[in-house]
Structure 1
Amino acid sequence: MNANSSTSSRFYYGWVVVLITFVTLLVSAGVRSMPSILMVPFEREFGWSRGGISHVISIGIFLYGLMGPFSAAILQKFGIRKVVVASLAVLAVSMLLTPMMTALWQFELLWGLVSGLATGMMANVLGVTVSNQWFVERKGLVVGLLTASAATGQLLFLPMLAKITTDAGWRYSIYTAVAIIVIVLFAVAIWMRNHPYDVGLAPYGTKEVVRPAAFTGNIFTAPLIALRSSLKSTTFWLLAGTFFFCGFSTNGLIGTHLIAACGDYGIVEVMAAGLLAFMGLFDLVGTTLSGWLSDRFDNRWLLFWYYGLRGLSLLFLPFALEATPMMLIIFSVFYGLDWIATVPPTVKLAAQQFGKEKSGMIFGWVVVAHQAGASTAAYGAGVLRETLGSYTVPFIAAGFVCLFAALMAIRIAKAGAAVQQVQA
């Protein structure tokens, strides 16, 4: 297929790649969210403490983020299809071994280490890599769609797996997830393509079919070199700082502990998982819209509003838990609309500030900060729940740090100033 035929065709194969990536990220996010429905069953069956389980989850969350900058280099070096197939295979094996575990250290090995590293290869950086390689136009929209896959993963997975866990036991929910992973693995192996050049196409929005540049660096040192250069930039620290608070207030806190917190108020697991799924539904809308907005408006101010509104919703959450179910539904809608809506503006700012070549790895380091925040909240909230008997303090604290993140966002330099800063 030549350039002329690719541009005249009504259908662009890059959208197939986006769909496969969306499903892959959806499944990865669904697996990463599973500990939230396993926490209480593990307490009951194994006698493990809430703090001990939270510690394992926090390790998995951190490693999930730490893989980001290295996965960006690995994806460029070996190609998207090979890396994703290998990651899905490792994830499936680790989950198949989960029902056999009898000790907390085994849970830490399988879900803290192996699952954290495997899902880390299929995190936001995968979506950024796909959008960078396949799209010039509509890149923000694509990033928004792929980011929203995490919310969709909760929407599809959590209520179903919570129902299976309640009716048949947590082991059967694990087996169900493994079956889904295997199906996705075969879909990736058959239909995924690494670059438009592989099918004779130009990146969307251009007309020239070009061979992708070979990755020449070292997959371990290249991310470190990119980090070293970005450390000179105040913009990097602001992006990383706001994303730390983003992780602290989303998957680390709400994604990990909301179901358990609802249990403290007599709300059953299936209903609590439904609340997370409801958030996922609205985040699918909010994050996709955020991608569209990121192509059109100042991304710094978008982040200001996203973090500010999220902070207000978290300050409202303790009151919603004590009030009527309608208050929790209102929280789910309000919070859900911008749960992961911060990602498209952050990706856009990273690309504007540091250039297309480095943006994947640098955004990967920003994601490390996100997961460090998530890891802190996952462990810290569990410990505070054991100590204080409720989640009120972690929820209120998360609300205030989001308001602080909103103020940090408007301090991010505009693109031209930041590039000059890095070059200096």
Structure 2
Amino acid sequence: MKDFHPRPHPRNPGSPWTVASGAALAIVTAGAFSTLAGLLVGPLHADLGWSRASVGLGSLVNMVVYGATAPFAAALMDRFGMRRVAVGALCLVGAGAALTTTMTAPWQFVLYWGVLVGLGTGATATTFAATVTERWFVARRGLVTGLLTAASVVGQFVFLPVLSWVIDAYSWRAAATALACAATCALPVVWAAVRDPQKEPGRTEDAAHPAGRTGDNTRPTDRTEATAHPSDRTEDAARRALRTLARAARTGPFWLLAGTFAVCGASTNGVMWTHFAPAAHDHGMPVTVAASLLSLIGIFNVAGTVGSGWLTDRADPRRLLATYYALRGLTLLALPLLLTSAVDTPLVAFTVVFGLLDVATVPPTIALCRAHYGADAPVVFGWVSAAHQVGAGAVAFAGGVARDTFGSYDPVWVGAGALCAGAALLALTLRRPPGPGLTRPAPARPARHAPSARDTA
């Protein structure tokens, strides 16, 4: 009788960098949808006769849904896997853009762009980057977080001049159709590249986690979840997101991180992306030139985010955050003195510095979430990102009120600079979590697939 030899467990066909590349494609594609809404205000007003307030309502709903989706998306990735959530998000943004071309009433813009595109972009936001790095990387988490965050910046700003040209040369419907096609083309690539690490037989999820954590914040490994009905798993994911919020809300670091990230949203999305172009136009600068400066800021965002990720692996994230917010506040305070009808050297210098600081806060914020909340970090960061969108929406609205009241955007820049100064102080009050230092890499988890692929990550 022949001896029985168990079949070796197949190694995971994916590699960390392949997964990160697929995730980057999904993030870039979804990011392109984030800036198109700002280009649609004028065309929709001229073509369909809608008020700017009606168009703004759709953008507001998009921003709120984007922020609220992030924590639940992180929990859904735990239940259904990153691949299904990422592909589903691309389907949502593609469908929302395609349906936008058929609009005849303002409420349809709220539904198609506000809800559908908001859900899709929220599911592929920075929480997606945090989940990818948490599951596939150990030694270079800060660097990979910076790279994936930079991918979002690329999607948001690099394509901005192209989309603007398409709208001017053809129509706003052509730009929306182009984005829908881009999302459709990205689907098979993301499906093939993005996957979760496979678990080896006989090993529990607790042992596989880099921090070796146990408890209800780890993913169940029994067969019950694998065979559970999708609606049950969705409900469990929503409950986990809310339970994680309830636990995190009882801790001081959560509110400090949420507060600083709310200021981050207020001083970037809320004030710069909403009010920079009209403020520059008040000083005689053409809107197209102001939009080009925003695109230049986006280009430097890439270098700033990647560099910040590299620094996060080597320095105290709390001090990095304090430095970023302090410098950002100084640049915003100086902006009213720099705005003129022409682009000169000081304004270009502002563009470069602000671009380097703009998204640099993301890698250290994720690192602090990981240090304080372990396996719950992606979900916690999702709720922190929701605070980011709340801050952005509040200041976007307040900036318009200030312009109507004072006839100038100068109070907006001063107020945003003051908020950044407060965020710098809040970052310094964050306590160092117990255990290993913040900058020390987490213990490497045993390989779930080919050792060479995991070791190099």
2:319 corresponds, among 291, 295, 301, to 301
Q: Alpha carbons of 1:99 and 1:157: their partners in 2 closer, same or farther (altered >3 Å)? A: same
Q: Deviations over 1:286-326 (max 9, x none)?
A: 11111111111111110001111111111222222236412
Q: Alpha carbons of 1:316 and 1:195: their partners in 2 closer, same or farther (altered >3 Å)? A: same
In 1: Cα distance, 2:366 partner to 2:312 partner: 9
Instruction: Indicate the residue corresponding to 1:422 in structure 2.
Output: none
Cα deviation for residue 158 of structure 1 reads: 0.3
Instruction: Indicate the residue corresponding to 1:173 in structure 2.
Output: 175
- For structure 2, the residue ranges without an aligned partner over 5 or more in a row are 1-6, 201-206, 211-217, 226-232, 438-457
* Preserved CA contact (<8 Å) 2:283 2:340: yes
Instruction: Indicate the residue corresponding to 2:450 in structure 1.
Output: none
- TM-score of the aligned structures, taking structure 2 as reference length: 0.82
Range moving further from structure 2, 380-389 or 234-243: 380-389
Cα deviation for residue 194 of structure 1 reads: 2.3
In 2: Cα distance, 1:378 partner to 1:222 partner: 31
Instruction: Indicate the residue corresponding to 2:240 in structure 1.
Output: 222
Instruction: Indicate the residue corresponding to 1:395 in structure 2.
Output: 413
Q: Deviations over 1:228-287 (max 9, x none)?
A: 111121111100000111111112222233334334444444433321221111110111
Q: Deviations over 1:375-407 (max 9, x none)?
A: 212333234444544433323221211111111
Cα deviation for residue 162 of structure 1 reads: 1.0
SS at match of 2:418: helix
Instruction: Indicate the residue corresponding to 2:194 in structure 1.
Output: 192
* Preserved CA contact (<8 Å) 1:230 1:362: yes
Q: Alpha carbons of 1:259 and 1:170: their partners in 2 closer, same or farther (altered >3 Å)? A: farther
* Preserved CA contact (<8 Å) 1:134 1:204: no
Q: Matches of residues 47-58 of structure 1 in structure 2 within 5 Å?
A: 47-58=49-60
In 2: Cα distance, 1:89 partner to 1:338 partner: 32
Instruction: Indicate the residue corresponding to 2:381 in structure 1.
Output: 363
Confirm whether residue 236 of structure 1 aligns to residue 236 of structure 2.
no
Q: Deviations over 1:127-182 (max 9, x none)?
A: 11111111111011111111111221133210110111122222211112112111
Q: Alpha carbons of 1:127 and 1:307: their partners in 2 closer, same or farther (altered >3 Å)? A: same
2:424 corresponds, among 397, 406, 412, to 406
Confirm whether residue 351 of structure 1 aligns to residue 370 of structure 2.
yes
Confirm whether residue 113 of structure 1 aligns to residue 146 of structure 2.
no
- For structure 1, the residue ranges without an aligned partner over 5 or more in a row are 420-424
In 2: Cα distance, 1:106 partner to 1:317 partner: 37
Range moving further from structure 2, 265-274 or 235-244: 265-274
Cα deviation for residue 213 of structure 1 reads: 5.3
Confirm whether residue 337 of structure 1 aligns to residue 339 of structure 2.
no
In 2: Cα distance, 1:281 partner to 1:3 partner: 44
Cα deviation for residue 48 of structure 1 reads: 4.2
Q: Deviations over 1:58-113 (max 9, x none)?
A: 22112101111110110111111111111111211111111222332222222222
Confirm whether residue 29 of structure 1 aligns to residue 31 of structure 2.
yes
SS at match of 1:325: coil
Larger Rg: 2
In 2: Cα distance, 1:257 partner to 1:197 partner: 48
2:271 corresponds, among 253, 259, 269, to 253
SS at match of 1:322: coil
Range moving further from structure 2, 35-44 or 72-81: 35-44
In 1: Cα distance, 2:49 partner to 2:428 partner: 46
* Preserved CA contact (<8 Å) 1:101 1:107: yes
Q: CA RMSD in A?
A: 3.0
* Preserved CA contact (<8 Å) 2:142 2:313: yes
| Count of residue correspondences | 407
In 2: Cα distance, 1:94 partner to 1:167 partner: 23
SS at match of 2:358: coil
Q: Matches of residues 317-332 of structure 1 in structure 2 within 5 Å?
A: 317-322=335-340, 324-326=342-344, 327-332=346-351
SS at match of 1:415: coil
In 1: Cα distance, 2:299 partner to 2:352 partner: 9
Confirm whether residue 272 of structure 1 aligns to residue 290 of structure 2.
yes
Range moving further from structure 2, 149-158 or 281-290: 149-158
Cα deviation for residue 373 of structure 1 reads: 0.7
1:313 corresponds, among 320, 323, 331, to 331
Q: Deviations over 1:192-241 (max 9, x none)?
A: 2222559xxxx9999xxxx9854968111111111111112111110000
Confirm whether residue 127 of structure 1 aligns to residue 129 of structure 2.
yes
Confirm whether residue 376 of structure 1 aligns to residue 394 of structure 2.
yes
Alignment-mate amino acid for residue 328 of structure 1: L
Cα deviation for residue 19 of structure 1 reads: 1.2
* Preserved CA contact (<8 Å) 1:73 1:361: yes
Q: Alpha carbons of 1:241 and 1:396: their partners in 2 closer, same or farther (altered >3 Å)? A: same
- TM-score of the aligned structures, taking structure 1 as reference length: 0.88
Instruction: Indicate the residue corresponding to 2:229 in structure 1.
Output: none
Q: Alpha carbons of 1:269 and 1:38: their partners in 2 closer, same or farther (altered >3 Å)? A: farther
Cα deviation for residue 49 of structure 1 reads: 4.4
Range moving further from structure 2, 327-336 or 42-51: 42-51
Alignment-mate amino acid for residue 119 of structure 1: T
Alignment-mate amino acid for residue 168 of structure 2: T
* Preserved CA contact (<8 Å) 1:50 1:383: no
Q: Which has the higher helix share?
A: 1
In 2: Cα distance, 1:230 partner to 1:417 partner: 18
Range moving further from structure 2, 45-54 or 231-240: 45-54
* Percent of paired sites with the same residue: 36
Alignment-mate amino acid for residue 402 of structure 1: C
